[in-house]
Amino acid sequence: MTQRSASVTIRNVARQAGVSVATVSRYINQSTPVSPKVAERLDKVMTELGYVPQSAARHLASRKTRVVGLLLNELHNDFFAPLLSGVEAVIRQKGYDLIVATYHAKSCKPMNPPIGPHNTDGLLVFSDSLFDDDLANLNASGFPIVLVHRTSPCALAIPSVTVENVEITHKLVDHLIQMHGRRRIMFLRGPVHQEDSIKREMGYKSALQANGIPFDENLVLNGEFERDVAYQAMDHLLGNGRQVAFDAVFAGDDDAAIGVLRALHQYGLRVPEDISVIGFDDQGFAPFLNPPLTTVRAPTERVGQLATERLFRLLENEPTNGALILPTEIVFRRSCGCES
């Protein structure tokens, strides 16, 4: 459990970090340089203990790196290009530099994230890149954070920007049922703890329930929002002769839809004649797939832009509201069975 900063002294920090009190004092006041390794360790310990003395607060307010960080849990998905474009546009306008780093909280802990208070003035945190405890520690220290594609843990009220997932997914799945007569609709989950994936599953289930279709766990596969994972899941299902009848696939997102289309084509299943396929995000390649992909248009670049603007409001000590949820819309193309 994190100690409250009021009960933590500079001696506690020094003891846990394995350095002298004088070293901690020098680092806080920047009177004499310390090594990057020691600085990183001190940042980690102070964050864990929630230690932000008045002198440190004054120092953090005055020390400006003119660098903003974007922490992602991966960077190989096509989804991130428009997000980065939105972030970078604001960064450039403000005359700051941007550091982008990947960090897998679930596999890396207790290692310290590569970016944070030790090398940036503020941080954009994508999805589940950090544990809630890490967010709580950073928030308690007063370090500026904005969450991207996730909402804040309830007790923290960290500003966030994301997109609407539940209602739009309900409408899209309902379209498959009502307009195309699909009733055995497969769902490819994204990462288990990722908020977008959880919300899309909620919309999927609510559409089934509204149409009197029982939820069937046999129709759920793990797609991880990745084309290779989605392909392997579908290939395993179809190649092993599992007797699971389905007439549509909600791939979870557009990247996974590529893997789904490849697997269906490989096994001679026609889209949309045999199987309808739908995605989410409306990535740049979606209209050029064969057939063109019915999907949800999410304003990914706008998410990056607005999240970064919010971060700069924090840096400039201006008020910013809590959760901002941007609207999404369905784009109907031929993969679901529509003509257009």
Beta bridge partners of 323: 160
- What tokens does 250 get? 């909600």
Tell me the per-residue pLDDT of 8-38, one tens digit each, with 9 for 90 and over: 777 888 899 998 877 887 777 665 678 888 8
> Does the structure show a pLDDT above 50 at 69?
yes
Q: What is the pLDDT of residue 111?
A: 65
- Mapping DSSP to helix (H, G, I), strand (E, B) and coil, where does residue 247 land? coil
Q: What is the pLDDT of residue 50?
A: 79
Tell me the per-residue pLDDT of 185-220, one tens digit each, with 9 for 90 and over: 999 999 988 999 999 999 999 999 999 999 999 999
> Does the structure show a pLDDT above 80 at 44?
yes
> Does the structure show a pLDDT above 60 at 56?
no
Q: What is the pLDDT of residue 269?
A: 96
Q: Evaluate the omega torsion of the peptide bond into residue 291 and state whether it is cis, within 30 degrees of 0.
A: yes
Mean pLDDT, rounded, for 153-177: 96
- What tokens does 249 get? 């696939």
122-126 and 145-148 as β-strands: parallel, antiparallel, unpaired? parallel
Q: What is the pLDDT of residue 139?
A: 87
> Does the structure show a pLDDT above 90 at 265?
yes
Yes or no: say if 84 and 70 are a contact pair by the CB < 8 Å rule: yes
| Cα distance between residue 295 and residue 237, in whole Å | 23
| Cα distance between residue 226 and residue 307, in whole Å | 24
Beta bridge partners of 162: 325
Q: What is the pLDDT of residue 145?
A: 96
The amino acid sitting at 151 is T
For residue 47, the tally of other CB atoms under 10 A from its CB is 23
Tell me the per-residue pLDDT of 124-150, one tens digit each, with 9 for 90 and over: 999 999 988 889 988 888 899 999 999
The residue to which tokens 């960077």 are assigned? 75
Tell me the per-residue pLDDT of 281-322, one tens digit each, with 9 for 90 and over: 999 999 999 999 999 999 999 999 999 999 999 999 998 878
> Does the structure show a pLDDT above 90 at 230?
yes
For residues 4 and 253, which has the higher predicted lDDT (pLDDT)? 253
> Does the structure show a pLDDT above 50 at 55?
no
The amino acid sitting at 191 is P
Q: What is the pLDDT of residue 268?
A: 95
Q: What is the pLDDT of residue 5?
A: 46
| From 56-65, 105-114, 222-231, 263-272, the region with the lowest mean pLDDT | 56-65
Spell out the domains of the chain, with CATH numbers in brackets.
1-41 (no CATH), 166-298+330-336 (3.40.50.2300)
122-126 and 295-297 as β-strands: parallel, antiparallel, unpaired? unpaired
